[in-house]
């Protein structure tokens, strides 16, 4: 498996050879920040294109086909359109909070995005409570959404934001429980370590029944966490025009839109990391030739393939199931997912204590 820390260490040594260490670290931080932003934007564009194509395929259509080959330039055109649109500020809106809200959303999204281990030695934020930090960072986004709804001086926005807040805070619990199930199995919170432990089999297979239940709960709760269908009632367009981002235009709306799609990717990326082994290739114990062949595929390809597979799964959910009512959403969470998650956690503890896992 190729280790990217060779390259990063080399760059670091080159930099400190002609400048002080503090400056070198600063330059590296700026460079990494730019790289993350770039990747964020590129991923958002890929995700929007994928959403359109996958949605079309599920509805027996072709999707965008006119702009560029197979409609590939369409998203770039849309991004350009979004960039040149006017940002309107509304009368009687709380100007400061109104302008702050999209940046809080995007900040939370980028912070949790930089936790994802993409390849061996290619983790930006990686420390001993990594997954805990990621959960904490991703929940900051709720503040941005509540601010957006509150400050736009619009009752639909407010209702959308309140729904979103209730929903996201509830489903945070299920996400936490399902991740905790895997943490019990790994006894580590560090994301790179979690990936390393899956070298001889992904946790979905190693933890068998409870891991699978946790995976399903994670997918459902994760889908709710990013406010996507069938849990998209914070922006239920038939009732609330567009929910919390009704009053936003131009790039401020664009930031919400981009954050929604990249959050979906982050949810899928975490699922790929903790359940499907992140950048770890598919290893079957005993088949050495097969394992070696799998090792030739670079880690980031594995990571993105797994993440996009889960994105596809989530899109499948979105374009299949009808939207839930707010009471149904809360019933699903508090009466089904949380109890099942707790029992599942207990089951995992029993399995780990008696060493029934692989």
Partner 1 sequence: MEKKRNYINGLLHGIGTLLTGMKVTGREFFTKKVTEQYPENRKTLVLSDRFRGMLTMPVDKEGRNKCIACGLCQMACPNDTIHIESETITDETSGKKKKVLVKYQYDLGSCMFCQLCVNACPHDAIRFSTEFENAVFDRNTLVKILNKTQSNH
CA distance 355 to 358: 8
Identify which of residues 37 and 62 has a Cβ nearer to partner 1 in the complex. Answer: 62
Residue for token pair 């050495």: 288
List, as one string, the DSSP characters of 64-123.
Answer: --SSSGGGTTHHHHHHHHHHHS--PPPTTS-HHHHHHHHHHHHHHHHHHHTT---STT--
Q: Fill in the DSSP letter of residue 285.
A: T
Identify which of residues 10 and 336 has a Cβ nearer to partner 1 in the complex. Answer: 336
* Lookup: tokens for 95: 């100007």
Residue for token pair 């770890």: 280
CA distance 185 to 173: 19
Q: Which of 6, 62, 199, 287 binds partner 1 (CB under 8 A)?
A: 62
Identify which of residues 132 and 309 has a Cβ nearer to partner 1 in the complex. Answer: 309
**56 is a contact residue toward partner 1 (CB under 8 A):** yes
Pattern 323-342, partner 1, x by CB under 8 A: -------------x------
CA distance 255 to 261: 10
Q: How far is the CB of 144 from partner 1 (least distance, A)?
A: 31
Q: How far is the CB of 223 from partner 1 (least distance, A)?
A: 12
CA distance 168 to 188: 26
**59 is a contact residue toward partner 1 (CB under 8 A):** yes
Q: How far is the CB of 62 from partner 1 (least distance, A)?
A: 4
The helix/strand/coil state of 1 is coil
Identify which of residues 64 and 254 has a Cβ nearer to partner 1 in the complex. Answer: 64
CA distance 109 to 33: 13
**96 is a contact residue toward partner 1 (CB under 8 A):** no
* Lookup: tokens for 241: 């025009």
Q: How far is the CB of 195 from partner 1 (least distance, A)?
A: 29
**212 is a contact residue toward partner 1 (CB under 8 A):** no
Identify which of residues 14 and 59 has a Cβ nearer to partner 1 in the complex. Answer: 59
Give how many residues touch partner 1 by CB under 8 A: 15
Q: Helix, strand, coil proportions of the chain in percent (round to 5)? A: 70, 0, 30
The helix/strand/coil state of 60 is coil
Selection from 61, 50, 344 nearest residue 220 by Cα = 344
**60 is a contact residue toward partner 1 (CB under 8 A):** yes
For residues 224-283, which are near partner 1 according to CB under 8 A?
Answer: none
Q: Fill in the DSSP letter of residue 332.
A: I
**317 is a contact residue toward partner 1 (CB under 8 A):** yes
Candidate ranges 4-12, 58-66, 232-240, 276-284; the one touching partner 1 (CB under 8 A) = 58-66
**316 is a contact residue toward partner 1 (CB under 8 A):** yes
Q: Which residues bind partner 1 (CB under 8 A)?
A: 54, 56-62, 65, 316-317, 319-321, 336
């Amino acid at each position: 498996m190729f280790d990217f820390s060779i390259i990063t260490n080399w760059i670091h040594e080159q930099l400190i050879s002609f400048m002080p260490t503090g400056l070198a670290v600063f330059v590296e931080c700026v460079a990494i920040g730019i790289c993350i932003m770039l990747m964020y934007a590129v991923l958002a564009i890929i995700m929007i294109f994928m959403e359109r194509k996958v949605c079309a395929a599920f509805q027996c259509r072709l999707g965008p086909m006119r702009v560029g080959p197979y409609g590939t330039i369409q998203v770039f055109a849309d991004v350009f359109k979004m960039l040149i649109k006017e940002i309107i500020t509304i009368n009687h809106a709380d100007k400061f909070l109104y302008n702050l809200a999209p940046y809080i959303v995007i900040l939370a999204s980028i912070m949790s995005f930089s936790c994802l281990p993409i390849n061996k030695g290619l983790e930006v934020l990686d420390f001993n409570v990594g997954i805990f930090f990621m959960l904490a960072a991703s929940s900051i986004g709720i503040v941005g959404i509540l601010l957006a709804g509150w400050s736009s001086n619009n009752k639909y926005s407010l209702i959308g934001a309140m729904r979103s807040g209730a929903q996201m805070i509830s489903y945070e619990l299920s996400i936490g429980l399902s991740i905790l199930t895997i943490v019990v199995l790994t006894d580590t919170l560090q994301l790179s370590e979690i990936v390393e432990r899956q070298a001889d089999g992904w946790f979905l297979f190693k933890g068998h029944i409870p891991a699978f239940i946790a995976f399903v709960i994670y997918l459902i709760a994760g889908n709710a966490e990013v406010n996507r269908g069938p849990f998209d009632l914070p922006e239920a367009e038939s009732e609330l025009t567009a929910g919390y981002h009704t009053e936003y235009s131009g790039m401020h709306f664009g930031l919400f839109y981009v954050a929604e799609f990249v959050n979906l990717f982050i949810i899928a990326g975490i699922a790929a990391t903790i359940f499907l082994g992140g950048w770890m290739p598919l290893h079957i114990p005993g088949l050495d030739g097969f394992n070696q062949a799998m090792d030739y595929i670079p880690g980031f390809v594995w990571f993105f393939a797994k993440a996009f597979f889960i994105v596809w799964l989530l899109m499948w959910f979105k374009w299949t199931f009808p939207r839930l009512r707010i009471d149904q959403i809360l019933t699903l969470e508090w009466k089904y997912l949380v109890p099942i998650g707790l029992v599942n956690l207990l089951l995992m503890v029993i399995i780990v204590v008696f060493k029934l896992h692989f």
